[in-house]
Amino acid sequence: MDRGFPPLSRTVEVQIDVVDRANNPPVWDQTVYGPIFVKENRNVGDRVVSVKASSGIENNPTVFYRLIRGSTAQTNKYDTFYLQQRNDNGHTWADIKVNHPLDYESIKEYNLTIRVENNGVQQLGSEATIYIVLEDVNDEIPLFTEREQETVLEGEPIGTPVTRVNAIDKDGTFPNNQVFYGIVRSPRNEGRDYFEINEQTGEIFTKVVFDREKQGAYALEVEARDGAPSARPNSNGQPNSGNHDIFNKKKILIGPYPEVAHYDSKLRNLTKPASLRSERLSEELREQRLLSADISSRLPYFESVNSSASELISNPENTRIARKIDTRLKD
């Protein structure tokens, strides 16, 4: 009945069960199990933990276990684990086993609820919690994020940066996800003696001064290796002793050295003398920057950015010649 005016009320029937005092609910050895640490590469069917409860009824030890399916993946919504009953010396155990492959990178922890009921008239029950924590293993392979063609100019000094490679390892913890880079030391690797790589950063540098007339392109194979022994099984089902490594092949073109350019100090005007046009320069010249000049004279020097191949500056009476040009070319 409520307190309104006029007061309203409703009736309902209640059923009361009288329970035998001797019939108690089952009692768990522990109400919370864990944290239980499990490596993510455990096989399907492997036992993770065994738990046990007593029936609570004298002279009737029978119990029934059930693993409750929760509403999230962490609470066993997708049946990642299953329960199997086992009798041992008059006791009934519940073995929790792996039902689907585990993945630390997807889910790191599970909270499982297990229910036990006895065999009494009222069949009373109780619940316990199992807390499972996954441990990362080195089961991911580093993967390169790009496969591009690069260009380096002929005549560039030893140690010139060419490009930087990058590989990502999706393992969740260090050193499993640490990546090291190297040049593949194989007779099939054409560029192994001409380039070197920074083991930590993946940056590639030249080891020689290139001459495009001798060879115009090199195929360079680099490798990425992670930082821990592999946890993946080999063809015989046994763990591998080595680290994961993956290879990436890059084509590196040797671009021609640009012709010299001149600067008109009086007119500051771009000219296109036919005598200075070069067939060696590509029409797809991306960037030209004159970095240094002949300092024997006091004439001003110039910087030209994003100019076309034919826009060379000339003045026969009052010029200075650039000595080094950082140019990216596509042959």
DSSP for residue 233: B
Answer whether residue 285 is part of any domain: yes
The boundaries of the domain holding residue 152 are: 143-255
Write down the pLDDT at residue 112. 98
Whether residue 162 is found in the same domain as residue 191: yes
pLDDT at 145: 84
The answer to whether position 12 is within a domain reads no
Residues 264 and 247 in one domain: no
Please state, as a whole number, how many other Cβ atoms lie within 10 Å of the Cβ of residue 213.
9
pLDDT of 160: 94
In this predicted structure, what is the pLDDT of residue 35? 96
Whether residues 84 and 59 share a domain: the answer is yes
The list of the chain residues with pLDDT below 50 reads 235-243, 259-331
- End-of-domain residue from the set 196, 229, 255: 255
Query: Given the DSSP bridges, would you call strands 91-98 and 63-68 parallel, antiparallel or unpaired?
Result: unpaired
Q: Which two tokens stand for residue 212?
A: 């495009």
* Within a domain: 58: yes
Quote the CA–CA distance of 224 and 169 in Å, as a whole number. 10
Distance from C-alpha of 329 to C-alpha of 255, rounded to nearest angstrom: 5
Q: Any idea how long the chain is?
A: 331
Q: Kindly state whether residue 217 falls inside one of the protein's structural domains.
A: yes
Q: Specify if 13 maps to a domain.
A: no
72 and 120 co-located in one domain: yes
| Domain-terminating residue out of 237, 255, 273 | 255
DSSP code per residue over 34-58:
EEEEEETTPPTT-EEEEEEEE-SST
CATH number assigned to the domain comprising residue 131: 2.60.40.60
What pTM did the predictor assign?
A: 0.60
For the chain, what is the domain count? 3
Identity at 260, one-letter amino acid code: V
Residue 21 within a domain: no
Query: In a 10 Å sphere around its CB, with 0-12 CB exposed, 13-18 middle and 19+ buried, how is residue 55 labelled?
Result: buried
pLDDT tens by residue, 43-65: 999 999 999 999 988 888 999 99
Output helix, strand, coil percentages for the chain, rounded to the nearest 5. Answer: 0, 40, 60
